[in-house]
Each structure stands twice: as structure tokens, then as C-alpha cells.
Amino acid sequence: MKGPAGEQNGSIVAIGDVHGCASELLTLLEQVALTPATTLLFVGDFIDRGPHSRQVIDLVLEVSERCRVVALLGNHEAMFIDFLRDIDTDSAGLFIFNGGGTTLASYADGGNEYRIPEAHIDFLLGLKPWHEAEEFFFVHAGVPRIPLAQLDAEVHRNELIWSRKFVRRRYSWSKVIVHGHTRCKEVEILPHRINIDTGCVYDNRLSAIELPSRRVISVPRLERARPTVLGDRSVRRRARRFTGALAVQVHRGEQQIEFTTMDYSSIGMLIRPLATHEDNLLEVGEIVFGTIGGEALGSVRFRGIVVRKQSTQEGLLYGVEITHHE
């Protein structure tokens, strides 16, 4: 197995996907009897979608001074790392459309500029792909149908942080898999796996489980304020824009029209069709549905409205304001 070593003994409190819900995390931690002997384990997705991603990481760093903290890599942290390395990559673009705009806003100065503290960058780069204990194996999303000893952190990276199929798998792993990523209404405790992502950022609950006792600790969503995006808070269409060619598919019944982005933000994008068309494809005011991104890293489903149509030498460009994505 090419990856981090584990531990054999001790009590662990594993916490599900936080997604920027700092108030809920603080409330949850107040219900945990933290001692220097406590291992506090996070299954990843500290950031994005919720309003206080920076504060979540600050809180995790602070609590690590009081007990042992094990922090795992989630797909949202992986996208954030890619964004910080190169904002023109597909993964960087998916970071923005997967709630990354709210993360950047939590680091912003009130406008379009943001600064990530070195301690937070070090935290992100130090996240582990998995963690092992005597009876349990902790991971963000899931593991493939192979013995745990054969796992490779690089070869199986997408499976570890992106898998949605894992929750439907049946396999005799040597340990109980504890994971998040695929949200459920209540903590799922099954013979072969335990799911602790109870969708706090989707107005449900933030949950933890104490192991090996399997005692569940859960708090409701406390703060339902709509998160802001990076840019002018008073005029949402002025959100910070980024360049990069992301694949966009617009669905019309059985028809799928392929586009690519010219630029994009958390709440909109300028797109052009990949093929030459004589007729107008979209009209101002039209409601459109589709996906952003490709198969390699997954895609984001969106609903939007066409707010601009622009004729250029390259053909027609369309401005789409995104009204919903998931």
C-alpha cells in the first residue's frame, strides 16, 4: 500500500464534510470532550459552498493545538490546490463552479483580491489521502473493490476523493470504511461502511461519530445566510471573472449543443459554440440547462438564463447567468 501509515489503538472522533460551516463546527466541537489523547479526524471537504471556509481552517488549526488532528483530502481541497497552482486548468474552473467562489470571498479584502495565508496553504498541501486505525479505514469518498493493502494514493486518487459509486458497492474489505462525500439524511452505520456526511451546507446537520463506540454527535445548520462570491457584493454580476476553456453542454430535449467558455465567474459565463452554426442557437431571456466540465473530474449541472448575445468575427458569443448549479 503506497500511502500514509495508520495507528492501532485509541478513540477517534470522525467529523463529516464541513463545507465552510464554521459556526456549526464550533458548536459540534463544544460537544466533544477534547483531551490531548483525542484523535479528531476530518474526512475532507472543509471548504466551498458555505460562507466561512477560511474560518473553518482557522478553527481546525487552532484545535490541533489541543489534541491530535488528522485531516484528509477531499475533492474540494484538491480542486482548490489545482486552482492555486494554475487558474486556467479544468479542475480550477470546476473549483469555482463547485462553490469555490464563496471560499475565495472568505479570504477577500472586500473586493476582487484575495490572499491565502501560508499556514493555510501548508495545511492544504499536508492533507492525507486516507487514515487507518485497527478496525477502521478513513477516506473522503470511497475505495475501489480491491484489498486495502493494494491501494496506491496516486493511482486511485480520483476514486478516493470523487467516487459516488462506492456507496452501492459490496465487498469484503478488511476494515470498516468511514467516509463522507455522498450526503445522507442521517449517519449511515452499515456492516462494511459508515457515512458521516449529513449535508450541513444543504440545511441539514453536521455530524461526527466516536469510534469504536459508534456514538453519533450531530448539530443542525445554524446559519442560513446566502454566501457571497468574490467581487462586488452589491452587484452580483460583477463577480470576479477567470479565463479558461471549460466544456459546456446545453441540453434541449434529445439535443446536446457543445460550447466552451471564453471566461467565467461563480455566477455566470461567456460561451461560444464549438461548431459553426448559421442559425442563432440561443436567445436572450432563454432558460437553459446543462453541464459544465468533462468526465475526467466529473461535471457540474446548471440552470441559467441567457442575458447577452454578442456577434464577433468568431461567431456568436452568449452570456449566461447561472441561477442554480449542483
Rounded to the nearest integer, the mean pLDDT of the chain is 90
Local structure of 95: helix, strand or coil: helix
Contact 114, 230 (CB under 8 A): yes
For residue 109, give the C-alpha cell.
479584502
Residue indicated by cell numbers 461502511: 193
Please write the tens of the pLDDT for every residue from 67-122: 999 999 999 999 999 999 999 888 899 999 999 999 999 999 777 789 999 999 99
The CATH fold of domain 238-325: Thrombin, subunit H (2.40.10)
Q: How many CB atoms lie within 10 A of CB 319?
A: 20
Q: Where in the chain is the domain with CATH 2.40.10.220?
A: 238-325
The CATH fold of domain 12-220: Purple Acid Phosphatase; chain A, domain 2 (3.60.21)
Q: Where in the chain is the domain with CATH 3.60.21.10?
A: 12-220
Q: Which of 312, 311, 273, 276 is nearest to 290 (CA)?
A: 273
Please write the tens of the pLDDT for every residue from 210-232: 999 999 999 999 977 677 888 76
What is the bridge-based pairing of β-strands 39-42 and 12-15?
Answer: parallel
Local structure of 181: helix, strand or coil: coil
Q: Rounded to a whole number, what is the largest CA-CA distance in the chain?
A: 69
Which residue type, as a one-letter code, is found at position 101? G
Residue indicated by cell numbers 460550447: 259
Considering only residues 35 and 152, tell me which one the structure prediction assigns the higher pLDDT: 152
Name the pLDDT band for 8 (thresholds 50, 70, 90): very low
Q: What is this structure's pTM? A: 0.91
Please write the tens of the pLDDT for every residue from 229-288: 887 666 556 788 999 899 999 998 888 899 999 999 999 999 999 987 656 789 999 999
Distance between CA 131 and CA 70 in Å, rounded?
8
Q: What local confidence, expressed as pLDDT, does residue 169 receive?
A: 80
Q: What's the rounded mean pLDDT across residues 293-308?
A: 84
Local structure of 270: helix, strand or coil: strand
Distance between CA 192 and CA 179 in Å, rounded?
11
Which residue type, as a one-letter code, is found at position 73? L
Local structure of 43: helix, strand or coil: coil
